Amino acid sequence: MSSKLTYLRSARLAARYPCHRRAFASAASSRADHVRIVEVGPRDGLQNERQTIPLATKVELVERLARTGLTTIEAGSFVSPKWVPQMANSAEILEHVLTRTPQSPHPITYQWLLPNVKGFDNFLAMWKAKAQSGQDAYPTPPPSPGTDNGPALNTSSADPNAMPSSSSGAEAMGKARGASTAPIHELSIFTAATESFTQKNTNCSIAESLKRFEPIMAKAKEMNLNVRAYISVALGCPYEGPDVDPHKVAELAISLLEMGADEISVADTTGMGTAPRTLELLKTLNAAGIDKSDLALHFHDTYGQALVNSVVALEHGIRTFDAAVGGLGGCPFSPGATGNVATEDLVHCFHSLGASTGVDLEQLSEVGEWISQELGRANDSRAGKATLAQLRKAT
Protein backbone atom coordinates (compact mmCIF):
# COMPACT_ATOMS: atom_id res chain seq x y z
CA MET A 1 0.00 0.00 0.00
CA SER A 2 2.84 2.39 0.85
CA SER A 3 4.39 2.00 -2.60
CA LYS A 4 1.05 2.72 -4.18
CA LEU A 5 0.62 5.88 -2.13
CA THR A 6 4.15 6.99 -2.98
CA TYR A 7 3.33 6.58 -6.64
CA LEU A 8 0.09 8.49 -6.26
CA ARG A 9 1.83 11.36 -4.51
CA SER A 10 4.47 11.56 -7.23
CA ALA A 11 1.69 11.57 -9.81
CA ARG A 12 0.14 14.80 -8.49
CA LEU A 13 2.24 16.84 -10.89
CA ALA A 14 1.16 14.66 -13.80
CA ALA A 15 -2.47 15.32 -12.93
CA ARG A 16 -2.01 18.96 -13.89
CA TYR A 17 -1.13 18.16 -17.51
CA PRO A 18 -2.98 16.38 -20.33
CA CYS A 19 -2.06 12.80 -21.08
CA HIS A 20 -0.28 11.96 -24.34
CA ARG A 21 1.12 8.60 -23.22
CA ARG A 22 -1.54 6.01 -23.81
CA ALA A 23 -3.72 5.43 -26.85
CA PHE A 24 -7.44 4.81 -26.71
CA ALA A 25 -8.15 1.14 -25.97
CA SER A 26 -9.45 -0.90 -28.87
CA ALA A 27 -12.78 -2.68 -28.78
CA ALA A 28 -11.09 -6.01 -29.38
CA SER A 29 -8.85 -5.65 -26.34
CA SER A 30 -11.35 -4.25 -23.85
CA ARG A 31 -14.94 -5.24 -24.57
CA ALA A 32 -14.98 -9.00 -24.04
CA ASP A 33 -14.60 -8.85 -20.24
CA HIS A 34 -16.72 -9.08 -17.15
CA VAL A 35 -18.34 -5.79 -16.11
CA ARG A 36 -19.48 -5.18 -12.55
CA ILE A 37 -22.74 -3.25 -12.21
CA VAL A 38 -23.38 -1.29 -9.01
CA GLU A 39 -27.15 -0.97 -8.66
CA VAL A 40 -27.89 2.43 -7.09
CA GLY A 41 -31.67 2.41 -7.55
CA PRO A 42 -32.67 1.91 -3.90
CA ARG A 43 -30.61 4.96 -2.85
CA ASP A 44 -29.72 7.32 -5.69
CA GLY A 45 -32.74 6.19 -7.66
CA LEU A 46 -35.33 6.86 -4.95
CA GLN A 47 -33.86 9.85 -3.10
CA ASN A 48 -35.41 12.44 -5.41
CA GLU A 49 -38.95 11.00 -5.49
CA ARG A 50 -41.46 13.52 -4.15
CA GLN A 51 -44.00 11.07 -2.76
CA THR A 52 -43.24 9.17 0.42
CA ILE A 53 -42.28 5.62 -0.50
CA PRO A 54 -43.37 2.95 2.03
CA LEU A 55 -40.59 1.06 3.77
CA ALA A 56 -42.10 -2.22 2.52
CA THR A 57 -41.68 -1.07 -1.09
CA LYS A 58 -38.04 -0.15 -0.53
CA VAL A 59 -37.32 -3.49 1.11
CA GLU A 60 -39.09 -5.36 -1.67
CA LEU A 61 -37.07 -3.46 -4.27
CA VAL A 62 -33.86 -4.64 -2.62
CA GLU A 63 -35.22 -8.19 -2.39
CA ARG A 64 -36.21 -8.27 -6.06
CA LEU A 65 -32.90 -6.79 -7.23
CA ALA A 66 -30.98 -9.36 -5.20
CA ARG A 67 -32.50 -12.16 -7.29
CA THR A 68 -31.37 -10.77 -10.66
CA GLY A 69 -27.68 -11.68 -10.48
CA LEU A 70 -26.48 -8.26 -9.37
CA THR A 71 -23.58 -8.45 -6.93
CA THR A 72 -23.52 -4.88 -5.55
CA ILE A 73 -26.54 -2.88 -4.38
CA GLU A 74 -26.49 0.58 -2.82
CA ALA A 75 -29.35 0.08 -0.39
CA GLY A 76 -29.65 3.31 1.60
CA SER A 77 -28.17 6.50 2.96
CA PHE A 78 -27.69 7.71 6.52
CA VAL A 79 -28.23 11.38 5.68
CA SER A 80 -30.35 13.82 7.65
CA PRO A 81 -34.07 13.33 6.91
CA LYS A 82 -34.29 17.14 6.89
CA TRP A 83 -32.29 17.24 3.66
CA VAL A 84 -33.27 13.93 2.03
CA PRO A 85 -36.58 12.76 3.60
CA GLN A 86 -36.82 9.73 1.33
CA MET A 87 -33.81 8.12 3.06
CA ALA A 88 -35.26 8.48 6.59
CA ASN A 89 -35.77 4.74 7.08
CA SER A 90 -32.41 3.46 5.82
CA ALA A 91 -31.68 2.08 9.30
CA GLU A 92 -34.70 -0.20 8.96
CA ILE A 93 -33.47 -1.39 5.57
CA LEU A 94 -30.07 -2.15 7.10
CA GLU A 95 -31.80 -4.04 9.90
CA HIS A 96 -33.71 -6.10 7.35
CA VAL A 97 -30.55 -7.00 5.43
CA LEU A 98 -28.71 -7.87 8.65
CA THR A 99 -31.45 -10.05 10.07
CA ARG A 100 -33.26 -11.43 7.00
CA THR A 101 -30.67 -11.70 4.26
CA PRO A 102 -32.32 -11.31 0.83
CA GLN A 103 -32.13 -14.45 -1.26
CA SER A 104 -29.66 -14.17 -4.14
CA PRO A 105 -27.78 -16.47 -6.52
CA HIS A 106 -24.46 -14.89 -5.46
CA PRO A 107 -23.18 -13.12 -2.35
CA ILE A 108 -24.16 -9.44 -2.51
CA THR A 109 -22.26 -6.39 -1.34
CA TYR A 110 -24.59 -3.79 0.20
CA GLN A 111 -23.36 -0.21 0.24
CA TRP A 112 -24.51 2.52 2.66
CA LEU A 113 -23.91 6.20 1.96
CA LEU A 114 -22.66 8.35 4.85
CA PRO A 115 -22.35 12.17 4.68
CA ASN A 116 -20.42 12.67 7.91
CA VAL A 117 -19.57 11.22 11.32
CA LYS A 118 -23.15 11.63 12.54
CA GLY A 119 -24.34 9.48 9.65
CA PHE A 120 -21.71 6.90 10.54
CA ASP A 121 -22.86 6.96 14.17
CA ASN A 122 -26.44 6.29 13.04
CA PHE A 123 -25.20 3.40 10.93
CA LEU A 124 -23.25 2.00 13.88
CA ALA A 125 -26.26 2.34 16.19
CA MET A 126 -28.17 -0.25 14.17
CA TRP A 127 -25.04 -2.35 13.71
CA LYS A 128 -24.42 -2.42 17.47
CA ALA A 129 -28.09 -3.12 18.21
CA LYS A 130 -27.79 -6.35 16.23
CA ALA A 131 -24.64 -7.27 18.14
CA GLN A 132 -26.29 -6.64 21.51
CA SER A 133 -29.29 -8.73 20.52
CA GLY A 134 -27.00 -11.71 20.16
CA GLN A 135 -26.37 -11.36 16.44
CA ASP A 136 -22.73 -10.74 15.59
CA ALA A 137 -23.11 -7.59 13.56
CA TYR A 138 -19.42 -6.67 13.67
CA PRO A 139 -17.19 -7.56 10.75
CA THR A 140 -14.87 -10.45 11.47
CA PRO A 141 -11.15 -10.02 10.85
CA PRO A 142 -9.71 -11.71 7.78
CA PRO A 143 -8.21 -15.18 8.33
CA SER A 144 -4.52 -15.49 9.08
CA PRO A 145 -2.32 -16.41 6.12
CA GLY A 146 -2.21 -20.15 5.56
CA THR A 147 -5.44 -20.90 7.41
CA ASP A 148 -8.43 -22.50 5.74
CA ASN A 149 -11.66 -20.95 6.95
CA GLY A 150 -13.75 -21.94 3.98
CA PRO A 151 -14.36 -20.12 0.71
CA ALA A 152 -14.11 -16.33 0.80
CA LEU A 153 -17.02 -14.22 -0.35
CA ASN A 154 -14.90 -12.07 -2.62
CA THR A 155 -16.18 -12.35 -6.20
CA SER A 156 -12.84 -11.32 -7.67
CA SER A 157 -12.40 -14.72 -9.29
CA ALA A 158 -15.29 -13.84 -11.58
CA ASP A 159 -14.40 -10.14 -11.82
CA PRO A 160 -10.69 -9.30 -11.68
CA ASN A 161 -11.49 -5.63 -11.17
CA ALA A 162 -13.96 -6.06 -8.31
CA MET A 163 -13.13 -4.32 -5.05
CA PRO A 164 -11.64 -6.53 -2.34
CA SER A 165 -14.45 -7.75 -0.14
CA SER A 166 -14.49 -7.38 3.62
CA SER A 167 -16.03 -9.80 6.08
CA SER A 168 -19.12 -8.61 7.88
CA GLY A 169 -21.33 -9.51 10.77
CA ALA A 170 -24.05 -10.49 8.35
CA GLU A 171 -21.55 -12.86 6.77
CA ALA A 172 -20.96 -14.41 10.16
CA MET A 173 -24.71 -14.69 10.74
CA GLY A 174 -25.14 -16.25 7.32
CA LYS A 175 -22.44 -18.84 7.97
CA ALA A 176 -24.12 -19.71 11.27
CA ARG A 177 -27.32 -20.43 9.34
CA GLY A 178 -25.45 -22.34 6.66
CA ALA A 179 -26.44 -19.78 4.03
CA SER A 180 -24.36 -19.57 0.87
CA THR A 181 -25.31 -16.01 0.01
CA ALA A 182 -24.34 -14.07 3.14
CA PRO A 183 -23.86 -10.39 2.30
CA ILE A 184 -20.90 -8.05 2.62
CA HIS A 185 -21.32 -4.45 3.79
CA GLU A 186 -19.41 -1.41 2.60
CA LEU A 187 -19.60 2.32 3.25
CA SER A 188 -19.78 5.19 0.77
CA ILE A 189 -18.76 8.82 1.22
CA PHE A 190 -19.17 11.72 -1.18
CA THR A 191 -17.63 15.01 -2.17
CA ALA A 192 -17.69 17.01 -5.40
CA ALA A 193 -15.34 18.38 -8.04
CA THR A 194 -16.49 22.00 -7.64
CA GLU A 195 -16.64 24.24 -4.61
CA SER A 196 -20.13 25.54 -5.48
CA PHE A 197 -21.70 22.10 -5.57
CA THR A 198 -19.91 20.99 -2.42
CA GLN A 199 -21.22 24.02 -0.55
CA LYS A 200 -24.79 23.41 -1.79
CA ASN A 201 -24.67 19.66 -1.14
CA THR A 202 -22.75 19.42 2.14
CA ASN A 203 -22.49 23.03 3.35
CA CYS A 204 -18.69 22.95 3.42
CA SER A 205 -15.67 23.33 1.17
CA ILE A 206 -13.99 20.46 -0.65
CA ALA A 207 -11.09 20.57 1.81
CA GLU A 208 -13.51 20.54 4.75
CA SER A 209 -15.38 17.57 3.27
CA LEU A 210 -12.13 15.61 3.08
CA LYS A 211 -11.39 16.47 6.69
CA ARG A 212 -14.81 15.15 7.70
CA PHE A 213 -14.01 11.82 6.12
CA GLU A 214 -10.85 11.15 8.14
CA PRO A 215 -12.57 9.72 11.26
CA ILE A 216 -15.00 7.73 9.10
CA MET A 217 -12.14 6.23 7.11
CA ALA A 218 -10.16 5.40 10.24
CA LYS A 219 -13.10 3.70 11.96
CA ALA A 220 -14.10 1.84 8.78
CA LYS A 221 -10.62 0.39 8.43
CA GLU A 222 -10.63 -0.56 12.11
CA MET A 223 -13.89 -2.45 11.48
CA ASN A 224 -12.59 -4.00 8.24
CA LEU A 225 -15.18 -2.23 6.11
CA ASN A 226 -14.35 -1.11 2.59
CA VAL A 227 -15.09 2.51 1.67
CA ARG A 228 -16.23 3.81 -1.70
CA ALA A 229 -15.85 7.54 -2.46
CA TYR A 230 -18.04 9.47 -4.91
CA ILE A 231 -16.79 12.53 -6.77
CA SER A 232 -19.93 14.33 -7.94
CA VAL A 233 -20.27 16.74 -10.91
CA ALA A 234 -17.03 15.48 -12.49
CA LEU A 235 -18.29 16.26 -16.00
CA GLY A 236 -20.45 19.30 -15.39
CA CYS A 237 -21.76 21.38 -12.50
CA PRO A 238 -25.21 23.01 -12.27
CA TYR A 239 -23.61 26.10 -10.73
CA GLU A 240 -20.25 26.35 -12.53
CA GLY A 241 -21.14 24.90 -15.92
CA PRO A 242 -19.94 21.96 -18.04
CA ASP A 243 -16.22 22.73 -18.09
CA VAL A 244 -15.08 21.07 -14.87
CA ASP A 245 -11.29 20.80 -14.82
CA PRO A 246 -10.41 17.08 -15.15
CA HIS A 247 -7.10 17.70 -13.37
CA LYS A 248 -8.98 18.80 -10.26
CA VAL A 249 -10.98 15.58 -10.44
CA ALA A 250 -7.74 13.60 -10.68
CA GLU A 251 -6.15 15.38 -7.73
CA LEU A 252 -9.28 14.83 -5.65
CA ALA A 253 -9.31 11.13 -6.57
CA ILE A 254 -5.67 10.83 -5.51
CA SER A 255 -6.43 12.50 -2.17
CA LEU A 256 -9.28 10.07 -1.51
CA LEU A 257 -7.17 7.04 -2.42
CA GLU A 258 -4.39 8.29 -0.15
CA MET A 259 -6.94 8.56 2.67
CA GLY A 260 -7.76 4.88 2.17
CA ALA A 261 -10.72 4.79 -0.22
CA ASP A 262 -11.03 1.40 -1.91
CA GLU A 263 -12.85 2.66 -4.99
CA ILE A 264 -13.64 6.03 -6.59
CA SER A 265 -16.97 6.48 -8.35
CA VAL A 266 -16.59 9.39 -10.78
CA ALA A 267 -20.06 10.81 -11.27
CA ASP A 268 -21.61 12.79 -14.10
CA THR A 269 -24.31 14.02 -11.73
CA THR A 270 -25.83 16.51 -14.16
CA GLY A 271 -25.62 14.34 -17.28
CA MET A 272 -23.63 17.09 -19.05
CA GLY A 273 -20.83 14.70 -20.00
CA THR A 274 -20.03 14.08 -23.65
CA ALA A 275 -17.90 11.40 -25.28
CA PRO A 276 -14.88 13.69 -25.90
CA ARG A 277 -14.91 15.11 -22.36
CA THR A 278 -15.42 11.65 -20.85
CA LEU A 279 -12.37 10.44 -22.73
CA GLU A 280 -10.36 13.50 -21.69
CA LEU A 281 -11.25 12.88 -18.04
CA LEU A 282 -10.31 9.20 -18.24
CA LYS A 283 -6.97 10.00 -19.88
CA THR A 284 -6.25 12.57 -17.19
CA LEU A 285 -7.03 10.07 -14.43
CA ASN A 286 -4.76 7.58 -16.16
CA ALA A 287 -1.96 10.14 -16.44
CA ALA A 288 -2.27 10.75 -12.70
CA GLY A 289 -1.41 7.11 -12.05
CA ILE A 290 -4.88 6.01 -10.96
CA ASP A 291 -5.56 2.37 -11.77
CA LYS A 292 -8.64 1.67 -13.86
CA SER A 293 -9.52 -1.04 -11.33
CA ASP A 294 -9.85 1.68 -8.67
CA LEU A 295 -12.50 3.53 -10.69
CA ALA A 296 -16.22 3.29 -11.35
CA LEU A 297 -18.23 5.53 -13.67
CA HIS A 298 -21.62 6.94 -12.71
CA PHE A 299 -23.61 8.49 -15.56
CA HIS A 300 -26.95 10.31 -15.55
CA ASP A 301 -28.92 10.41 -18.78
CA THR A 302 -30.15 14.02 -18.77
CA TYR A 303 -29.03 14.67 -22.35
CA GLY A 304 -29.26 11.08 -23.59
CA GLN A 305 -25.48 10.58 -23.54
CA ALA A 306 -25.10 8.06 -20.73
CA LEU A 307 -24.77 4.94 -22.91
CA VAL A 308 -22.40 6.67 -25.32
CA ASN A 309 -20.21 7.78 -22.43
CA SER A 310 -20.37 4.30 -20.89
CA VAL A 311 -19.07 2.71 -24.09
CA VAL A 312 -16.25 5.25 -24.19
CA ALA A 313 -15.34 4.28 -20.61
CA LEU A 314 -15.66 0.56 -21.41
CA GLU A 315 -13.25 0.90 -24.33
CA HIS A 316 -10.87 2.81 -22.09
CA GLY A 317 -10.76 -0.17 -19.73
CA ILE A 318 -13.27 0.75 -17.00
CA ARG A 319 -15.05 -2.33 -15.67
CA THR A 320 -17.35 -0.97 -12.94
CA PHE A 321 -20.43 1.12 -13.70
CA ASP A 322 -23.26 2.51 -11.57
CA ALA A 323 -26.84 2.34 -12.82
CA ALA A 324 -30.42 2.45 -11.54
CA VAL A 325 -33.17 0.04 -12.51
CA GLY A 326 -35.86 1.66 -14.63
CA GLY A 327 -33.70 4.77 -15.04
CA LEU A 328 -34.68 5.95 -11.57
CA GLY A 329 -33.01 8.95 -10.08
CA GLY A 330 -32.12 12.58 -10.06
CA CYS A 331 -30.23 14.70 -7.57
CA PRO A 332 -32.00 17.03 -5.10
CA PHE A 333 -28.98 19.35 -5.25
CA SER A 334 -28.63 19.37 -9.06
CA PRO A 335 -31.59 21.20 -10.61
CA GLY A 336 -32.70 19.70 -13.92
CA ALA A 337 -30.71 16.47 -13.64
CA THR A 338 -32.77 13.45 -14.61
CA GLY A 339 -32.33 9.80 -13.77
CA ASN A 340 -29.34 7.52 -13.80
CA VAL A 341 -28.59 5.42 -16.83
CA ALA A 342 -31.07 2.55 -16.67
CA THR A 343 -29.50 -0.68 -15.48
CA GLU A 344 -31.44 -2.65 -18.09
CA ASP A 345 -30.10 -0.41 -20.90
CA LEU A 346 -26.53 -0.68 -19.63
CA VAL A 347 -26.72 -4.47 -19.27
CA HIS A 348 -28.23 -4.85 -22.76
CA CYS A 349 -25.59 -2.55 -24.25
CA PHE A 350 -22.66 -4.34 -22.63
CA HIS A 351 -24.04 -7.78 -23.50
CA SER A 352 -24.41 -6.68 -27.14
CA LEU A 353 -20.72 -5.73 -27.15
CA GLY A 354 -19.65 -9.13 -25.89
CA ALA A 355 -19.15 -8.22 -22.23
CA SER A 356 -20.67 -10.25 -19.41
CA THR A 357 -22.38 -8.86 -16.31
CA GLY A 358 -23.92 -11.93 -14.66
CA VAL A 359 -27.26 -10.09 -14.61
CA ASP A 360 -30.48 -11.68 -15.89
CA LEU A 361 -31.92 -8.99 -18.17
CA GLU A 362 -35.41 -10.47 -18.20
CA GLN A 363 -35.66 -10.57 -14.41
CA LEU A 364 -34.16 -7.09 -14.15
CA SER A 365 -36.67 -5.74 -16.68
CA GLU A 366 -39.51 -7.11 -14.59
CA VAL A 367 -38.14 -5.31 -11.53
CA GLY A 368 -37.93 -2.07 -13.51
CA GLU A 369 -41.54 -2.34 -14.60
CA TRP A 370 -42.69 -3.22 -11.08
CA ILE A 371 -40.96 -0.32 -9.30
CA SER A 372 -42.09 2.14 -11.98
CA GLN A 373 -45.69 1.07 -11.40
CA GLU A 374 -45.23 1.29 -7.63
CA LEU A 375 -44.00 4.87 -7.97
CA GLY A 376 -46.63 5.82 -10.55
CA ARG A 377 -44.02 6.94 -13.03
CA ALA A 378 -42.96 5.98 -16.54
CA ASN A 379 -40.44 3.21 -16.99
CA ASP A 380 -37.43 5.01 -18.48
CA SER A 381 -35.61 1.88 -19.64
CA ARG A 382 -35.95 1.32 -23.37
CA ALA A 383 -34.21 -2.06 -23.25
CA GLY A 384 -36.38 -3.09 -20.30
CA LYS A 385 -39.61 -2.26 -22.09
CA ALA A 386 -38.46 -3.95 -25.30
CA THR A 387 -37.40 -7.07 -23.41
CA LEU A 388 -40.78 -7.35 -21.69
CA ALA A 389 -42.60 -6.79 -24.98
CA GLN A 390 -40.70 -9.72 -26.53
CA LEU A 391 -41.47 -11.92 -23.55
CA ARG A 392 -45.18 -11.16 -23.78
CA LYS A 393 -45.15 -11.73 -27.52
CA ALA A 394 -43.56 -15.15 -27.00
CA THR A 395 -46.26 -16.19 -24.56
Catalytic residues: 331
d(CA 138, CA 209): 27
> Smallest Cα–Cα separation from 237: which of 190, 200, 275?
200
As a three-state string, the secondary structure of the chain is CHHHHHHHHHCCCHHHCCCCCCCCCCHHHHCCCECEEEECHHHHHCCCCCCCCCHHHHHHHHHHHHCCCCCEEEEEECCCCCCCHHHCCHHHHHHHHHHCCCCCCCCCEEEEECCCHHHHHHHHHHHHHHHHCCCCCCCCCCCCCCCCCCCCCCCCCCCCCCCCCCCCHHHHHHHHHCCCCCCEEEEEEEEECCHHHHHHHHCCCHHHHHHHHHHHHHHHHHCCCCEEEEEECCCCECCCECCCCHHHHHHHHHHHHHHCCCEEEEEECCCCCCHHHHHHHHHHHHHCCCCHHHEEEEEECCCCCHHHHHHHHHHHCCCEEEEEHHHCCCCCCCCCCCCECEHHHHHHHHHHCCCECCCCHHHHHHHHHHHHHHHCCCCCCHHHHHHHHHHHHHC
Beta partners for residue 277, in sequence order: none
- Other CB atoms within 10 A of residue 136 CB: 16
- 268 φ, ψ to 5°? -90, 75
Cα distances from 246 to residues 71, 180, 233, 282, 375, in angstroms, run 30, 42, 11, 8, 36
Q: How far is CA 393 from the centre of its chain?
A: 34
